[in-house]
């Protein structure tokens, strides 16, 4: 067990990943920073910078790191998945823990149709940016279109499943997968809506995107209802 001191509160958590203990910086009462992630323990929110990576076409991820599958993700970020996971754990989310069997080597239609259900905590994902000197805010799902339904992705929570650890490696950190639109146990967050088993139906709503090169802020909010099935 590793103790992490936040102000006068000691939080203990366990992770077999070999890495130095994260540095938690206190910014103000209830507000802390780990890496490039700022989190508010009272509001249960974690925020960090991102940018649009792909502006048109079909995608399988909402958000990955710059070293992840950026060619099939709407957004990329420089944030380390490990740091976001630490912030979420300190706010009360539950990680998936260690697995003993080999994770999928490829997320394809064959795997998706037989993938086991994931469990996790409900979260909201919000994007913020400035455009024409105005603050803009949008739910992440409002930027995605479901071609099978012929309609935008339905509003609602996402699933913080917390990735998995395999042979001592935290797989979200290895692969850079943060928010998946199709079932990916290695991502930190998954899409719980019908269609998460189909990698052909999620498209970008290009007309809703901010202008090219606009910096974004992503906020993940932990909701009260925990451990929902996918």
Do 14 and 4 touch, CB atoms closer than 8 A? no
| Portion of the chain with pLDDT greater than 90, in percent | 76
Helical segments of the chain, H only = 81-90, 109-114, 171-175
**What region does 178 belong to: left with phi over 0, alpha with psi -120 to 50, or beta?**
alpha
For the cut 90, the answer to whether the pLDDT of residue 15 exceeds it is no
Task: Give residue for tokens 């910086």.
Answer: 25
Phi (first) and psi of residue 113, to 5 degrees: -70, -20
Q: What is the pLDDT of residue 194?
A: 95
Residue 85 in 3-state DSSP?
helix
Q: What is the pLDDT of residue 98?
A: 86
For the cut 50, the answer to whether the pLDDT of residue 12 exceeds it is no
DSSP state of 213: T
Full-model pTM: 0.89
For residue 9, name the pLDDT band (cuts at 50, 70, 90). Answer: very low
Q: What is the DSSP string of 105-161?
A: S---HHHHHHPPPPEEEEEEEEEEEEETTEEEEEEGGGGEEETTTTEEPPP--EEE-
pLDDT tens for 147-169 read 999 999 999 999 999 999 999 99
């Amino acid at each position: 067990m590793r103790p992490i001191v936040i102000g006068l509160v000691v939080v203990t958590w366990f992770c077999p990943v070999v890495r130095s203990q994260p540095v938690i910086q206190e910014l103000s009462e209830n507000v802390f920073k780990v890496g490039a992630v700022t989190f508010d323990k009272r509001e249960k929110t974690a925020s960090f910078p991102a940018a649009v990576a792909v502006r048109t076409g079909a995608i399988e991820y909402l958000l990955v790191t710059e070293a992840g599958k950026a060619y099939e993700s709407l957004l990329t970020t420089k944030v380390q998945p490990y740091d976001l996971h630490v912030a979420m754990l300190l706010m009360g989310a539950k990680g998936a823990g260690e697995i003993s069997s080999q994770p999928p080597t490829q997320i394809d239609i064959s795997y998706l149709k037989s993938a086991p259900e994931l469990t996790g905590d409900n979260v909201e994902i919000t994007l913020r940016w400035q455009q024409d000197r105005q603050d803009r805010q949008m739910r992440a799902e409002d930027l995605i279109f479901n071609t099978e339904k012929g309609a935008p992705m339905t509003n609602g929570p996402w699933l913080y499943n917390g990735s998995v650890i395999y042979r001592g490696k935290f797989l979200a950190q290895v692969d850079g997968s943060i928010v998946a639109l199709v079932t990916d146990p290695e991502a930190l967050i998954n899409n719980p809506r019908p269609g998460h088993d189909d990698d052909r139906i999620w498209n970008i709503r290009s007309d809703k995107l901010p202008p090219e090169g606009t910096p974004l802020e992503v906020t993940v909010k932990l909701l009260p209802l925990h451990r929902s099935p996918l």
